[in-house]
Amino acid sequence: MIANKQKIGGRPGSAPAPEPPDGDAAPAPRRKKLIVLMVSVALVGAAAAYWFLLGPGANGTSAAAEEPPAPEPGVVQVIEPISLNLAGNRYLMIGLGLQLTAEVEEEIDPSKALDRTISLFSGRTIEEVSSAEGRTALKAELAAVLEEDYHGEVIDVLFTTYVTQ
């Protein structure tokens, strides 16, 4: 009697499946792919951890987004007061002090500052120039314009004289 042969009328799936000659031969390429994938994920995770914890991405800042340090203040160059015409036959006498950086060794030409001051303040109403909010806003605007005009040599503007009539 031969027991390994399939019986007539027997189910084809009931016989045990034959095993491959070497049990580790089929899963080997799959294991290699899994190991390569795990090593790749570990390397990407380590790089991301370095970036966010120790590297340029730490503290939510990047090297490109860092602001340069604020310039060191130097001397204040005082400009003599001038009188400007306001709206409604009113006048403003304004004197400026330009806060220069420490790198500036000699006085700068005040003509740009005077021109920008005249352009910004002339023709304004007395209410605009005499209220604290208006004065602060005009001062901030003048400081920003002068910083750009003087290529960073002027870092702030001070009012030495401010009289309305």
Query: Do residue 48 and residue 81 come from a single domain?
Result: no
Instruction: Flag whether pLDDT at 90 surpasses 90.
Output: yes
* Lowest-pLDDT choice from 48-57, 99-108, 142-151: 48-57
**Residue 37 is part of which domain span?**
28-67
Query: Do residue 138 and residue 160 come from a single domain?
Result: yes
User: What CATH number is attached to the domain comprising 147?
Assistant: 3.30.479.30
Query: Do residue 126 and residue 89 come from a single domain?
Result: yes
More confident residue, 49 or 159: 159
* Cα torsion 113, 116, 118, 124: sign: negative
In angstroms, rounded to a whole number, what is the distance separating the alpha carbons of residues 142 and 145?
5
More confident residue, 29 or 86: 86
* Lowest-pLDDT choice from 18-22, 37-41, 149-153: 18-22
In the sheet that 154-164 helps form, which strands lie side by side, from edge to edge? 73-86, 90-101, 154-164
Instruction: Flag whether pLDDT at 24 surpasses 70.
Output: no
Average pLDDT over residues 19-33: 67
- Cβ 86 vs Cβ 122: under 8 Å: yes
23-57 CB burial, b ≥16 within 10 A, e <16: eeeeeeeeeeeeeeeeeeeeeeeeeeeeeeeeeee
Q: What pLDDT score was predicted for residue 1?
A: 53
H helix runs in the chain, sequence order: 28-53, 111-121, 126-130, 132-149
pTM greater than the 0.95 cutoff: no
More confident residue, 51 or 157: 157
- Cβ 80 vs Cβ 113: under 8 Å: no
